[in-house]
Chain A
Amino acid sequence: MAALSKRIIRETERLVSDPVPGITAMPHEDNLRYFDVTIEGADQSPYEGGLFKLELFLPEDYPMVAPKVRFLTKIYHPNIDRLGRICLDTLKKNWTPAIQIRTLLLSIQSLLTSPNPDDPLANDVAECWKKDEAGAIQTAKEWTAKYAKKE
């Protein structure tokens, strides 16, 4: 494993010393490219009151390629599948090396507030979301209470 770049060191320092409200990111001691992330569900969203755990990994050629991010907490969301994989253009073709871990996590946080069922990753969830939005939101709330309870 190549030595950590100045950029990763600086980003980590800032994430820890000056965290974004509602988001935490801590690197593992034995692998500084691997982060434990938590995101709080935004108020007025079906995920309000939930605390979602994610894992984030910085590949060798970060920041030229996007970090790998996945939800660990079960979540009912049209753009997040059963394995926690996230459908977000910032993670794929719209990734650019000027985006930082902090900005990326903010985009994921805002994806929770504004689900996009027209560009789904979890097809079944997206179908429900389109057919019966109120019902889907209810399910999302139930899942949040069941799986994403704050300790």
Chain B
Amino acid sequence: MGNVPTKEDRGSIGSYDDAARRGGPVVNSLTVREILNPSATYRKKKYYKDKEGLKEQVTKDLIVSHEENVDGGFLAPYGVYTHNQDYATAIVRGLISERRISPFYLPLQDLDDDWTDEQLIKELDDLALHAPISGEIEETTILDPNSKHYQKHLQAQLFEKALLQKRIALQTEAQARYDREKKLAYGNGFRKENIPSRDLLLRLYKDATECPICFLFYPNNFNYTRCCVQPICSECFVQIKRLDPHPPHDEEEERNQNSGELVVPKDLISEPAICPFCAMPNFGITYTPPQDIKTGINGIPPCDYKRSTTKPSINTPGKDIGNDDSAVVETNDTLEVPVKKGARRHSLPSEHQSVISTDFIRPDWERKLNSARMKLARRSAAATAIHASSLLMDETGNGQVRSSRADSSADLEQKMIEQALRLSLLEEEERKSKQNIKS
């Protein structure tokens, strides 16, 4: 594969590795403006050269590395879900670094209130950075060597296999680095910057709470739904997306059936995801980072975190914050979620600047909709052509033609030319839109 992106091709977040290795401060140069306009980021940074390049980059982005940590969590999911990892990893990594969504924390399967600190630390110590990755590739259709796309499909399959192997190798390496440093830090008392202090682990997991979707236990700084203020972990949040483009609701389908029409391509719709809890359209979340922790990217090394003597304030917008004055920390961050002291946060409109929507982390929904429409248009154009020509054939065959044979074959030719023109116009349009995405 000649298209392996070099370090420079990578999103700016990649710079954390180098910075961490040099021991310097970690600067995340992905600006809010770039986050707010992700397509600009893609264009500006030439984030990927082609489809394969993008897939390789996504594969790397999905590796959990302990060097890339934010407030005791990570930039890539643990792997509770094996499907739908098709969110824009660069955007999510940026959002986590900016503390606009909760980092991906390692989940605890269970949590017992009776556990001592030692037991809890032991449980956390036993956690791997990532769930086991299955080396089996999903059953792919058996390729027909006579198909004209055989070579292309075969190559795609081989590429997927190689990618999966690479992913497993990279995650194994990341785990080995983590284990080595953990041993040096906890076993031999060395200072290992990216190994969280005991205080940090206890602060995070002592009051771990169950995510209502995956039922796993995470530190209490959850994302909250913008509408009904319900907690949701980042791993579940990045799973929620629009349904694939589909015909409008049944009633309209019925209407089309009655009038004998097929679904018109432009009728295909794609609606924003709904809130899993209250079914409100335009699902989105907000996040308030814990005020007493700022470790990892854009913060202090997680090994240096010490629990302050005052009780940590936990920012759960769904609960009373209490009379702790430090709960509202002065901040120049204009994106701060408005949580009034002692008040429950109200629902926020979807366009509020602190709300991260599911479309925001999957900005390709429009392209998907257009390509689904295009596909349907091509199919229905082909069907019309076949239909038209068979009608004409039928007429000539039955000998009930009013016009002469020459006329009808001219008609047929005319129709076929029109059809060919339509198809080539559609293809040209698609080519253009693809080019737009690439450039």
Using a CB–CB cutoff of 8 Å, the interface residues on chain A facing chain B are 2-3, 5-7, 10, 60-61, 63-64, 93-94, 96-99, 119
Contacts and interface: CB of A to CB of B under 8 A. Distances in A.
B357 to A, nearest CB: 16
Interface in B207-229: 212-216
B277 A98 contact: yes
Contacts of A61: 81-84
23 contacts: A2-B82, A2-B134, A5-B214, A5-B215, A6-B214, A7-B214, A10-B215, A60-B82, A61-B81, A61-B83, A61-B84, A64-B81, A64-B239, A64-B240, A93-B249, A96-B275, A96-B279, A98-B212, A98-B213, A98-B276, A98-B277, A99-B276, A119-B250
B119 interface: no
A60 B83 contact: yes
B214 to A, nearest CB: 6
Interface string B67-88: 0000000000000111110000
A105 to B, nearest CB: 18
| Nearest 9 CB-CB pairings of A with B | A96-B276, A98-B276, A61-B83, A7-B215, A97-B276, A98-B277, A97-B213, A64-B239, A6-B215
Contacts of A119: 250
A99 B277 CA distance: 8
Interface string B131-150: 01010000000000000000
Contacts of A63: 213
Interface of B: 80-84, 109, 132, 134, 212-216, 230, 236, 239-240, 243, 249-250, 274-277, 279
A2 B138 CA distance: 11
A123 to B, nearest CB: 10
Contacts of A2: 82, 134
A6 B131 CA distance: 13
A97 B236 contact: yes
B154 to A, nearest CB: 25
Contacts of A98: 212-213, 230, 276-277
Nearest to A99: B276
Contacts of A5: 80, 214-215
A95 to B, nearest CB: 9
A96 B277 contact: yes
A22 B106 CA distance: 39
A81 B245 CA distance: 25
B130 to A, nearest CB: 14
Nearest to A10: B215
Contacts of B212: 98
Given A6-B109, A7-B214, A97 B240 contact: yes
A10 B210 CA distance: 12
A98 B211 CA distance: 10
B132 to A, nearest CB: 8
Contacts, number: 47
Contacts of B276: 96-99
Contacts of A60: 82-83
A67 to B, nearest CB: 15
A3 B81 CA distance: 10
Contacts of B240: 64, 97
Contacts of A7: 213-215
B299 to A, nearest CB: 30
Nearest to A118: B251
Given A10-B215, A98-B277, 11 more contacts: A5-B214, A6-B215, A7-B215, A60-B82, A64-B240, A93-B249, A96-B276, A97-B236, A97-B239, A97-B240, A97-B276
Contacts of A10: 215
A44 B216 CA distance: 41
Contacts of B132: 3
A151 B240 CA distance: 43
A10, A61, A97 pick with most chain B CB within 10 angstroms: A97
Nearest to B214: A7
A5 B276 CA distance: 19
Nearest to B213: A97
A60 B83 CA distance: 8
Contacts of B82: 2, 60-61
A6 B277 CA distance: 20
B159 to A, nearest CB: 22
With a 10 A CB-CB cut-off, give which of A61, A96, A99 has the most chain B CB atoms.
A96
B226 to A, nearest CB: 15
B106 to A, nearest CB: 13
Nearest to A8: B215
A7 B230 CA distance: 18
Contacts of A93: 243, 249
Contacts of B279: 94, 96
B83 A64 contact: yes
Contacts of B239: 64, 97
A97 B277 CA distance: 8
